[in-house]
């Protein structure tokens, strides 16, 4: 994952973020997609509707970059599935 400094983040279009209004959680490559999923619950001050939209963007980016996503919803993040 390329480390994004402040200038790099400023240059990214809003569409390259899971949360574009807040410009949080870039999703420009597979490693960033995984990181966005891992830190999803750390984004503060957003509504469930905004989380739903961010999750859709993450899923689209995951598909684009070949990232396997096992969770059906962002609400499933961090929950282990029972076997």
Check residues 80 and 23 and name the one with the higher pLDDT.
Answer: 23
Burial bucket for residue 35 (CB in 10 Å: 0-12, 13-18, 19+): middle
pLDDT at 71 over 80: yes
**Which residue's structure tokens are 């957003």?**
46
pTM over 0.75: yes
Question: Which residues fall within 8 angstroms of residue 57, CB to CB, at 6 or more apart?
Answer: 15, 17, 18, 20, 27
Distance CA 81, CA 17 (A): 28
Q: Residue written as tokens 């983040």?
A: 9
Residue 79 — very low, low, confident or very high, per pLDDT cuts 50/70/90?
low
Average pLDDT value for the chain: 88
Taking alpha carbons only, the member of 82, 12, 46 closest to residue 74 is 46
């Amino acid at each position: 994952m390329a480390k994004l400094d402040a200038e790099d983040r400023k240059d990214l279009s809003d569409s390259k973020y899971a949360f574009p209004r807040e410009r949080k959680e870039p999703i420009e490559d597979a490693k960033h997609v995984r990181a966005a999923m891992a830190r999803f619950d750390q984004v503060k001050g957003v509504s469930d509707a905004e989380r739903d939209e961010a999750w859709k963007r993450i899923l689209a980016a995951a598909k684009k970059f070949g990232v396997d996503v096992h969770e059906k919803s962002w609400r499933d993040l961090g929950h282990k599935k029972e076997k």
